[in-house]
């Protein structure tokens, strides 16, 4: 982290979020400065990621598209690993950055369009919502909105925390 260093000492809860690389994600290290939010956020993020209605594949397509839209190198890198674990190939991960027109199934194309509309307009158009209901339940569509919102927020935190001096 260039701009926001983790607090010293770290809250115990941060150690639980350590990745295989041995440290907690930069977003959690930044959040460690707000201990009253740390526990609730980790609970929320775990529920959204582990107990959600969406498939892991769909979740990661949304997370990657959001990271791309928000220009978050940190979130893109982190979710590329998670996307691999969810079964996406390197080629598919690359196509997420290209967008909906990159040869997706209709279902996945609509998912990417929904992420793009949420990024641009903070909403999903009636036409896209209606088309999405052919493939997803209302619960899954509400969750998709939360997934995009979650990774928009985390992209902002990561972009702020990792900004280098002289970027103004």
CB 67 within 8 A of CB 97: no
pLDDT at 17 over 70: no
User: Is 165 buried (19+), middle (13-18) or exposed (0-12) by CB count in 10 A?
Assistant: exposed
For residue 31, the model assigns a pLDDT of 87
- pLDDT value, residue 58: 98
Superfamily, domain 56-153? AhpD-like (1.20.1290.10)
Which residues touch 101 (CB under 8 Å, ≥6 apart)?
109
Could you state, in order of their start, the residue ranges of all structural domains in the chain? Answer: 56-153
On whether the CB atoms of residues 3 and 31 are closer than 8 A, the answer is: no
Token output for 36? 């009253």
Residues 6+ apart with CB under 8 A from 24: 6, 10, 14, 15, 17, 18, 32
pLDDT digits (tens, 9 = 90+) for 76-128: 999 999 999 999 999 999 999 999 999 999 999 999 999 999 999 999 999 99
| pLDDT the model gives residue 64 | 98
pLDDT of residue 21 exceeding 60, the answer is: no
For residue 168, pLDDT over 60 is answered with no
pLDDT of res. 156:
96
pLDDT tens for each residue of 33-74 = 888 998 899 899 989 988 999 999 999 999 999 999 999 999
Residue 144: closest CA among 123, 168, 158, 164:
123
For residue 104 the two structure tokens come to 């997706």
């Amino acid at each position: 982290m260039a701009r926001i260093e983790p607090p010293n000492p770290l809250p115990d809860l941060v150690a639980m979020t350590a990745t295989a690389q041995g440290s907690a994600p930069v977003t959690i290290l930044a959040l460690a400065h707000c201990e009253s939010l740390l526990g609730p956020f980790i609970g929320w993020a775990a529920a959204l990621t582990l107990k959600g209605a969406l498939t892991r594949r769909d979740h990661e397509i949304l997370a990657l598209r959001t990271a791309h839209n928000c220009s978050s190198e940190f979130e893109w890198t982190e979710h590329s690993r998670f996307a691999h674990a969810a079964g996406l190939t390197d080629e598919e991960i690359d196509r997420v950055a290209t967008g909906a027109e990159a040869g997706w199934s209709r279902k996945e194309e609509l998912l990417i369009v929904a992420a793009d509309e949420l990024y641009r307009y903070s909403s999903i158009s009636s036409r896209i919502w209606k088309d999405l209901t052919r493939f997803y339940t209302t619960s899954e569509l509400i969750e998709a909105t939360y997934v995009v919102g979650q990774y928009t927020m985390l992209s902002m935190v990561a972009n702020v925390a990792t900004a280098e001096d002289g970027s103004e």
